[in-house]
Amino acid sequence: MHRGKGMKFVGDSRVPAERKPNIPKDYSEYPGKTEAFWPNFLLKEWMVGAVFLIGFLCLTVAHPSPLERIADPTDTSYIPLPDWYFLFLYQLLKYSYASGPYTVVGAIIMPGLAFGALLLAPFLDRGPERRPTKRPVAVGMMLLTLAAIVFLTWESVVTHDWEAAAEQGKIRAEVEIDKNADGYKIAQANTCTTCHGENLQGGPAAPSLVGTGLSAEEVAKIAKDGQGSMPGGIFKGTDEELKKLAEFIAGLKAE
Ligand code: HEC
């Protein structure tokens, strides 16, 4: 029997009005278009599944997930980034009317309205029409939402400082530093550690001083005159102290 012919349906749905006894359908009308579920169909399904499984395995081996350094809850300068599918919400929180004193608007009210409307859609839109052209309001809202999500995700990607993000998450070699060495004490006394970190491992604003590959003379020059965004005149000690400090830092080798 042809499906739909002489059948009554409930409303616009695909549920037939009269329930039929559960007898397998007669496919003799379609010779060659049908096959046994076991083993023919299942074997095909399994082969497709295996292709995807092996494909994903190869991908994970070729592109291992990018690991960052161990999370440090005391590091308030670390700016976390959500996964790509939440970037649009993250971006929303950057706009002035949705952040700061209005965080509630960006974090709860706007997403709440959107998801609430989605939840209530079956109750709000009870028209029997199925065709998109006959449902301009619902389709318009959906397109608007999609456009907003695409735009916000895009904005978030192009405005993010990916270099700084890579820098802050970098895995740094942990190096045991002799904190009783004269060189370390001089570094501490001259505030080098406030920027370069207690272990001279680098901080949010300054690079690591471990394994710089610089000679003692070069370090001494930087300590006195500065370099790039490091101001000069930080070192305030004697020439002898400068030599000790420079030799100490030049001697810090990454393992
Ligand atoms: C105000 C923060 C600050 C302080 C304090 C500071 N530095 Fe720096 N330091 C920096 C920054 C920022 C850089 C990166 C400069 C650049 O190349 O743009 C840097 C770079 C360096 C470099 C070069 C590292 C490399 O790999 O090229 C050395 C060596 C260095 N600092 C030594 C010192 C010493 C020694 C002291 C203490 C006398 C000190 N710094 C104090 C901010 C600081």
Please check whether residue 186 is in contact with residue 236, taking contact to mean a CB–CB distance below 8 angstroms. Answer: no
Structure tokens at 41: 């169909």
Ligand 1 mutation target, pool 230, 236, 253, most atoms within 8 A of CB? 230
Q: Is the CB of 233 under 6 A from ligand 1?
A: no
Q: Residue 183, exposed/middle/buried by CB under 10 A (0-12, 13-18, 19+)?
A: buried
Q: Is the CB of 189 under 6 A from ligand 1?
A: no
pLDDT of 12 reads 65
CA of 239 to the centre of ligand 1 (A): 18
Q: Pick out the residues of the known binding site.
A: 192, 195-196
Q: Is the CB of 196 under 6 A from ligand 1?
A: yes
Structure tokens at 180: 């009783």
Please check whether residue 193 is in contact with residue 187, taking contact to mean a CB–CB distance below 8 angstroms. Answer: yes
Please check whether residue 106 is in contact with residue 93, taking contact to mean a CB–CB distance below 8 angstroms. Answer: yes
Q: Is the CB of 242 under 6 A from ligand 1?
A: no
pLDDT of 78 reads 83
Ligand 1 mutation target, pool 184, 193, 196, most atoms within 8 A of CB? 196
Please check whether residue 173 is in contact with residue 254, taking contact to mean a CB–CB distance below 8 angstroms. Answer: yes
- Rounded Cα gap, residues 43 and 48, in angstroms: 9
pLDDT of 174 reads 66
Q: What is the dihedral of CA 183, 188, 193, 199, to 10 degrees?
A: 60
pLDDT of 24 reads 65
Going by alpha carbons, the residue nearest to atom 22 of ligand 1 is 222
pLDDT of 255 reads 60
Q: Which residues contact 121 (CB under 8 A, 6 or more apart)?
A: 138
Q: Is the CB of 190 under 6 A from ligand 1?
A: yes
CA of 72 to the centre of ligand 1 (A): 23
pLDDT of 160 reads 92
pLDDT of 1 reads 46
Going by alpha carbons, the residue nearest to atom 32 of ligand 1 is 223
Q: Is the CB of 186 under 6 A from ligand 1?
A: no
Going by alpha carbons, the residue nearest to atom 33 of ligand 1 is 223
Q: Is the CB of 244 under 6 A from ligand 1?
A: no
Low-confidence ranges of the chain (pLDDT < 50): 1
